[in-house]
């Protein structure tokens, strides 16, 4: 464990003990969940003790809410709420009366947002939490907000120019579309200095496009139920965790927390005495970064979004994800297309990569380059085979193994 990680776990140990047993005594659905796991409230003594509580999936939370609307019995009686949201599922999210209820202040501060900013907030404000989440954090930081939402790009481009917008919050793809629209209208924003982008992956090509037009581009990661679960610092390597929530990366089979860099599901626990959302599985895959960060932010980092639970397959005990594979092999010279085949004989997994060379490519050189990329990018040894063609809709990973 890095110093940042062990200090973070110690702080969360204290919060688990201070908040969760008391919350279980107040919130019947949470206590019932503990009982089902064979636990009593005081068993929740530290972060390690949470491993004994099965992860609550988002689907299970939807079912809980449907069975006992609106919050599945997870909201304490008399809780004071500022806003109520509905996100796809449907899932309802109660916002507490707190200065920065979804913990985005540190994320935006790390990206340089402050009182001198006029921020175009292009997150949705209708029913879903994103718009209000970010507005709340921006107001806390003293920034001025243009509640733009999503849509009407021509009006947003005009407003950005007329109002001297200095910063953007929203999807990265939407920022690109907005800047293109503004350029077409002859209204490129003149003062745009920073952008905080969320809610979808930021591929390197899109990042490069945005950075040509916006000096500071930072990405964040979070969910509607839990808010901030990670944000970039100056180092742009991975995502720092917010200090106010517990983020774990958990084994997909056992639920055990993996602090050592192994890949697993991102699982979040909120320290809300009136709404104990504990061990909620996000369905996203990530891993802790075990090297210390060069910046001054005190919390540890995760690697960022590595895919969705369910798409990943385990090969020789390690996860292999289609998106990771596509990233690892992107830009290999002479590579037209590829697929990975996983097979198993004599209880040993084998990995084969079929590659289609581009016209005129050196086949032996291509095979060697792909083999090396798979070794360095995915940490697997693979046999690489050149094939004449693959179907256009061929999945990236084909699992041929049988387990009987």
Choice between 218 and 279, CB closer to Zn ion: 218
Retrieve residue 204's tokens: 């390197």
Q: Both ends of the chain: CA-CA distance in Å? A: 39
Residue 356 lies near Zn ion (rule: CB under 5 A):
no
Retrieve residue 272's tokens: 């809300």
Neighbours of 149 (CB within 10 A): 17
**Minimum distance from residue 44 beta carbon to Zn ion (Å):** 30
Angle at 226 (CA atoms; ends 242, 271), nearest 5 degrees: 70
Residue 302 lies near Zn ion (rule: CB under 5 A):
no
**Minimum distance from residue 112 beta carbon to Zn ion (Å):** 14
- Residues 67, 235, 236, 358: which binds Zn ion (CB under 5 A)? 235
Angle at 35 (CA atoms; ends 34, 37), nearest 5 degrees: 65
Residue 56 lies near Zn ion (rule: CB under 5 A):
no
**Minimum distance from residue 123 beta carbon to Zn ion (Å):** 24
Choice between 302 and 397, CB closer to Zn ion: 302
| Helices and strands in the chain, H and E counts | 10, 19
DSSP class of 288 = B
Choice between 185 and 235, CB closer to Zn ion: 235
- Residues 81, 295, 341, 390: which binds Zn ion (CB under 5 A)? 295
Angle at 392 (CA atoms; ends 388, 395), nearest 5 degrees: 100
**Minimum distance from residue 294 beta carbon to Zn ion (Å):** 6
Choice between 65 and 219, CB closer to Zn ion: 219
- Cβ-contact 79, 94 below 8 angstroms: yes
Tell me which stretch binds Zn ion (CB under 5 A): 49-57, 287-295, 345-353, 354-362: 287-295
In 97-215, the DSSP E strands lie at 118-121, 144-146, 167-170, 194-197
CA distance linking residue 371 with residue 376, whole number of Å: 9
Locate tokens 């409230």: which residue?
41
Residue 293 lies near Zn ion (rule: CB under 5 A):
yes
Residue 233 lies near Zn ion (rule: CB under 5 A):
yes
Q: How many residues bind Zn ion (CB under 5 A)?
A: 5
Tell me which stretch binds Zn ion (CB under 5 A): 113-121, 143-151, 290-298, 337-345: 290-298
Tell me which stretch binds Zn ion (CB under 5 A): 49-57, 185-193, 235-243, 361-369: 235-243
Tell me which stretch binds Zn ion (CB under 5 A): 66-74, 217-225, 232-240, 365-373: 232-240
Cα 264 to chain centroid distance, Å, stands at 12
CA distance linking residue 175 with residue 210, whole number of Å: 8
Locate tokens 């297309």: which residue?
337
**Minimum distance from residue 134 beta carbon to Zn ion (Å):** 21
Choice between 34 and 297, CB closer to Zn ion: 297
Contact characters 241-280, Zn ion, x per CB under 5 A: ----------------------------------------
Choice between 105 and 146, CB closer to Zn ion: 105
CA distance linking residue 201 with residue 368, whole number of Å: 29
Chain positions contacting Zn ion, by CB under 5 A: 233, 235, 293, 295, 297
């Amino acid at each position: 464990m890095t110093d940042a990680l062990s200090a973070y776990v110690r702080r969360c140990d204290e919060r688990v003990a201070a908040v969760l047993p008391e919350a279980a005594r107040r919130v019947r659905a949470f206590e019932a969940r503990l009982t089902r796991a064979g636990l009593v409230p005081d068993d929740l003594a530290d972060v390690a003790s949470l491993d004994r509580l099965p992860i609550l999936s988002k689907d299970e939370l939807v079912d809980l809410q449907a069975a006992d609307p609106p919050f599945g019995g997870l909201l304490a009686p008399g809780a004071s709420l500022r806003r109520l949201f509905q996100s796809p599922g449907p899932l309802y999210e109660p916002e507490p009366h707190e200065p920065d209820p979804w913990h985005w202040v540190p994320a935006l501060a790390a990206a340089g947002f402050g009182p001198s900013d006029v921020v175009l907030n292009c997150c949705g404000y209708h029913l879903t939490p994103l718009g209000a989440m970010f507005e709340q954090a921006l107001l806390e930081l003293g920034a001025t907000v243009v509640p733009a939402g999503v849509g009407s790009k021509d009006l947003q481009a005009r407003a950005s120019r007329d109002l001297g917008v200095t910063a953007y919050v929203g999807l990265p793809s939407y920022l690109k579309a907005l800047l293109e629209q503004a350029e077409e209208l002859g209204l490129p924003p003149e003062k745009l200095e920073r952008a905080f982008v969320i809610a979808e992956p930021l591929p390197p090509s899109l990042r490069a496009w945005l950075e040509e037009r916006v000096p500071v581009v930072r990405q964040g990661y979070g969910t509607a139920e839990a808010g901030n679960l990670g944000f970039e610092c100056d180092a742009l390597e991975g995502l720092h965790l917010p200090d106010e929530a517990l983020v774990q990366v958990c084994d997909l089979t056992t639920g055990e927390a993996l602090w050592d860099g192994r890949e697993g599901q991102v699982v979040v626990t909120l320290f809300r005495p009136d709404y104990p959302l504990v061990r909620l599985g996000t369905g996203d895959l990530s891993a802790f970064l075990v090297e210390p960060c060069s910046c001054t932010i005190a919390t540890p980092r995760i690697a960022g979004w590595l895919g969705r639970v369910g798409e990943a397959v385990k090969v020789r005990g390690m996860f292999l994800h289609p998106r990771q594979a596509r990233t690892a092999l992107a830009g290999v010279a002479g590579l037209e297309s590829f697929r990975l085949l996983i097979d198993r004989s004599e209880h040993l997994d084998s990995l084969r990569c079929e590659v289609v060379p581009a016209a005129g490519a050196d086949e032996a050189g291509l095979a060697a380059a792909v083999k090396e990329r798979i070794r360095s990018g995915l940490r697997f040894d693979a046999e690489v085979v050149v094939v004449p063609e693959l179907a256009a809709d061929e999945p990236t990973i084909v699992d041929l193994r049988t387990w009987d």
